[in-house]
Amino acid sequence: MSKITVYSAPNCPWCHTLKDFLKEKNIEFEEIDISKDQAKVQEMIEKSGQMGVPQIEINGKMIVGFDKEAIEKELENLKSD
């Protein structure tokens, strides 16, 4: 399966919701805590043009926020690749 990256912050309730959603589906992901790494903040902004979290990168596509429908669609696309 392709790499999935979650950009999050500890005080972000939607970040916890997104990570719980992925864990419930047994989907492995790399978590990047942007509160600890300013370079990763810049990386995230360059990829998406957005500063808010959570953001998830699935197979090179950035999704900003917990957009369950968009996330599920991208996860389905991974399965069909």
pLDDT digits (tens, 9 = 90+) for 4-15: 999 999 999 999
**pLDDT band at 79; cut points 50, 70, 90:** confident
Return the domain boundaries, the chain.
4-80
Fold of the 4-80 domain? Glutaredoxin (3.40.30)
**What would the two tokens of residue 51 be?**
């500063």
**pLDDT per position as a tens digit, 27-64:** 999 999 999 999 999 999 999 999 999 999 998 999 99
| Residue pair 6/29 in contact by the 8 Å Cβ criterion | yes
Can the peptide bond before residue 54 be classed as cis, meaning omega within 30 degrees of 0?
Answer: yes
User: pTM for this one?
Assistant: 0.92
Of 33, 63, 22, nearest in space to 74 by CA: 63
